[in-house]
Amino acid sequence: MELGAQDYADRKKDISQFLSQDIYQDEIKAMINHKRRRLIINISDLHSFNNLAPRILKNPSEFMQPFCDAVTEAAKGIDPKYLKEGEALHVGFEGPFVSRRVTPRDLLSEFIGSMVCVVGIVTKCSLVRPKVVKSVHFCPATENFTVREYRDITSNNGLPTGSVYPTRDENGNLLVTEYGLCQYKDHQTLSIQEVPENAAPGQLPRTVDVIVEDDLVDSCKPGDRVAIVGLYKALPGKSKGSVNGVFRTVLIANNVSLLNKEANAPIYSPEDLKNIKKIAERDDTFDLLGNSLAPSIYGHSWIKKAVVLLMLGGVEKNLKNGTHLRGDINMMMVGDPSVAKSQLLRAIINIAPLAISTTGRGSSGVGLTAAVTSDQETGERRLEAGAMVLGDRGVVCIDEFDKMNDQDRVAIHEVMEQQTVTIAKAGIHASLNARCSVVAAANPIYGTYDRSLTPTKNIGLPDSLLSRFDLLFIVLDQMDADIDRHISEHVLRMHRFRSPIDGGEAALDGSSRYGREDEADADSSVFVKYNRMLHGRKTERGRKRDTLTIKFLKKYIHYAKHRIQPELTDEASEHIATAYAELRNASSNAKTGGTLPITARTLETIIRLSTAHAKLKLSRKVTKVDVEAALKVLNFAIYHKELTEMEDREQERQREEARTHRADRQGPTTTAMEVDDPPRAQQPTAIGSLERIEAFKAIFGQHMRVNHKDTISISEVENVVNEGADGHYSRAEIVAILEVMLVYGLLDRNKVFIFLKDECPCFSSILV
């Protein structure tokens, strides 16, 4: 707005006195040394000087031009050669804006004409274009120069001028534009959207357009979380050539600040820190956090533990040669319908500090990554961020992953490993950060899991995508009367005794989301109060199972994720290398393999899981215990067994060595076949070498796991083993091997019956 000469002089005098302070004289000198063109003023300093802050915040348009002129004069007084003729410096503001620090949803009409600080995430970003500020024209007939200045709503000095470009002077003589003498400034438009984790459920996220100019262009990119300070102005809208009463609003930025990962950090009280350390010192910390993740979901303990490690993540590293080692963990769940896959995703969304939810059918490849769109008003190209870019440093949950098109699914390959989105379309080449963990849930290719097929054929996804998932869990609907009884009791307790306003972890309301409203009470209670009606009877050991509250669980995960950066020890490194070699060997011996291919990415998976477990224990070092915990989770994901293959083979090797040692000391012993008084023609069967026993166990065990059989005959065992083995096994040798493995405890006794009455009368059945 136009100011009178006296008002302008008074304001400029007050500002010059403010800038004469030593602190801002030093700031101006630093600005000159670093060749910057913008001085940042703290609002707190203006409060203590002639009550300038309230006046500037309420009517910034009256103070911006005097401020810029005063800063320019102060800079020329320090270094007269710093600025060229006609150049001016700019001013930006920072500090506590209190009630004026808002989100796009809170940006209402009461703020029009004032200065505000808007916090959000950049979703769209246009190309940088030059805007003419002053044009110079030459008249060949009169040999005179004509100068015209252009001002719009973004200008601080005076009212907006017309945008008509002169072609003739007042006498009708032709004018020639001298483009080299014209002055321009950079111009760019952004779109700021409210952050996803604080958006109101069921409502479209609000967006505000931002105009940045001069040195502020390209200060942020899509996906960045920013706090932008500027003047909130209204532009008259036009409809069919006439001005209507609905105005379009924009934010004229004067300062852009990038928010770091600690921007939404919860408030830790001393009591919280003490409780966090107490929980970390417990022996059952891993189990406690897993049980507390989604207590309304029965079972799935290993998947819950994996989710806890996923939210903690590993340590991200950027090497000097430009290599990026991701620390985020990707996980996938494939299984029958109604096994709580979507409920687990909902629990992640409500616990993780930043989580974005999408579905396979409702998402496209560009919707997940990034897209090049056209501006509705100007028609120019602009870059728009997708869900994975918006979820940078967070978790992206994709439900119904199997319903996505193959072309859309390929688009996330780069994100899951390189953690960037590269766009080269319509003249725009850009690379955006998408450092997020991906949690996907899918149904098998035939709707339900076919136990007669291998996991790879059930999943129906290419290995190039599966290898990018660190963990892949097969979740089956077990037909077990005891399990069904426990699930029904658990669900009925939830329906009968949980308060409707309690909501649990799957509630979709604003109060349960991760936000500042959770931090009003800085002290969080640690454990959920035990309620026998709701939580059921006590455990088998006679004591109740502890469960952490959601608020404390959020604080614990945030503290462990951002405050602890563990380092690998020599012992842990050696153990990881040995475990990886064992996994590779097991996958090569087992003909069909597990749920995931064992590749070099599996080695990095072990490192990430071990580091996440060290974070869980608030440890600065990754130890062998952390590696063991990570291997148990990984082995359950690959083979659906709680005991790791490495531990299994180690115990088998130790028992075999002990048996061989005893046999060497005691000499020939009577075998089990001789005890049962076999026919005289049958001699004690010679058992093959340790390698043959191991090969037998690998082939036989893999067959039982893949087909999920309850019973198997000795004839089928003979056929299966001889089809997959290099050497032939006789039936007598197979029976002898099974009996020896049973005697020395080398078989898992909880899965399948093998009926051997004819071949081995002393055992009516062998439990495998």
502-510 long-range contacts (CB < 8 A, ≥24 apart) are 504/295, 504/296, 505/293, 505/294, 505/295, 505/296, 505/346, 505/347, 505/350, 505/351, 505/550, 506/294, 506/296, 506/343, 506/346, 506/347, 506/350, 507/350, 508/201, 508/202, 508/346, 509/201, 510/200, 510/201
> Identity (one letter) of the amino acid at 515?
G
Please enumerate in sequence order all residues whose Cβ is within 8 A of that of 646, keeping only pairs 6 or more positions apart, or say none: 578, 579, 582, 583, 631
pLDDT of residue 657: 64
* Continuous H helices in 313-425: 341-351, 365-368, 387-390, 406-410, 413-417
Residue 303 exposed, middle or buried by CB count within 10 Å (0-12, 13-18, 19+)? buried
What does the pLDDT look like over 613-634, one tens digit per residue? Answer: 998 888 888 888 888 888 888 8
**CA 305, CA 633: separation in Å to the nearest integer?**
8
Residue 183 exposed, middle or buried by CB count within 10 Å (0-12, 13-18, 19+)? middle
pLDDT of residue 454: 76
What does the pLDDT look like over 458-474, one tens digit per residue? Answer: 788 887 888 788 888 88
**CA-based nearest residue to 101, from 121, 120, 117, 114:** 117
pLDDT of residue 524: 57
pLDDT of residue 452 exceeding 80: no
**CA 711, CA 689: separation in Å to the nearest integer?**
27
pLDDT of residue 456 exceeding 80: no
pLDDT of residue 645: 45
What does the pLDDT look like over 208-222, one tens digit per residue? Answer: 889 898 888 888 878
Share of the chain above pLDDT 70, in %: 75
pLDDT of residue 312: 87
What does the pLDDT look like over 164-187, one tens digit per residue? Answer: 777 777 777 888 888 878 888 888
State how beta strands 395-399 and 437-442 pair.
parallel
Give me the torsion for CA of 507, 508, 509, 513, rounded to 10°: 90
Please enumerate in sequence order all residues whose Cβ is within 8 A of that of 190, keeping only pairs 6 or more positions apart, or say none: 122, 124, 125, 126, 209, 210, 211, 212, 220, 228
> Identity (one letter) of the amino acid at 95?
G
**CA 123, CA 221: separation in Å to the nearest integer?**
8
Please enumerate in sequence order all residues whose Cβ is within 8 A of that of 83, keeping only pairs 6 or more positions apart, or say none: 72, 75, 76, 89
pLDDT of residue 579: 85
What does the pLDDT look like over 243-279, one tens digit per residue? Answer: 667 778 888 888 888 886 555 667 778 888 888 888 8
* Average confidence (pLDDT) over 565-578: 87
What does the pLDDT look like over 59-91, one tens digit per residue? Answer: 888 888 888 888 888 888 888 777 777 778 888
Higher pLDDT pick, 541 / 305: 305
Only one residue has tokens 């000095």, namely 157
294 DSSP assignment: -
Contact predicate 86/183, CB 8 Å: yes
pLDDT of residue 680: 40
* Average confidence (pLDDT) over 86-114: 84
CA 723 to chain CA centroid, nearest Å = 45
* Average confidence (pLDDT) over 495-511: 47
What does the pLDDT look like over 122-170, one tens digit per residue? Answer: 888 888 888 888 888 888 888 888 888 887 777 766 666 766 777 777 7
- Which sequence spans correspond to the domains of the chain? 1-95, 97-260, 270-569, 663-767
Q: To the nearest whole number, what is the mean pLDDT of the chain? A: 75
Higher pLDDT pick, 522 / 277: 277
pLDDT of residue 542: 42
* Average confidence (pLDDT) over 472-499: 72
* Average confidence (pLDDT) over 583-594: 67
Higher pLDDT pick, 301 / 749: 301
Please enumerate in sequence order all residues whose Cβ is within 8 A of that of 659, keeping only pairs 6 or more positions apart, or say none: 740, 744
Q: Which of 31-35, 440-444, 504-508 has the lowest mean pLDDT?
A: 504-508
Q: Predicted confidence band at 589 (pLDDT cuts at 50, 70, 90)?
A: low
Please enumerate in sequence order all residues whose Cβ is within 8 A of that of 223, keeping only pairs 6 or more positions apart, or say none: 121, 122, 385, 389, 390, 392, 432, 433, 434
pLDDT of residue 679: 41
The most distant pair of C-alpha atoms in the chain lies apart, rounded to whole Å, by: 131
pTM: 0.65
Q: Which of 240-244, 394-398, 706-710 has the lowest mean pLDDT?
A: 240-244
Please enumerate in sequence order all residues whose Cβ is within 8 A of that of 284, keeping only pairs 6 or more positions apart, or say none: none
What does the pLDDT look like over 35-47, one tens digit per residue? Answer: 888 888 888 888 7
**CA 236, CA 624: separation in Å to the nearest integer?**
67
**CA 677, CA 417: separation in Å to the nearest integer?**
63
The highest-level CATH class for domain 270-569 is alpha beta
Only one residue has tokens 């009968």, namely 496
- Homologous superfamily (CATH) of 97-260 is Nucleic acid-binding proteins (2.40.50.140)
Query: What CATH number should be reported for the domain whose range is 1-95?
Result: 3.30.1640.10
Contact predicate 456/411, CB 8 Å: no
pLDDT of residue 511: 38
Output the six-digit token pair for 35: 């060749």
Please enumerate in sequence order all residues whose Cβ is within 8 A of that of 408, keeping only pairs 6 or more positions apart, or say none: 363, 364, 365, 368
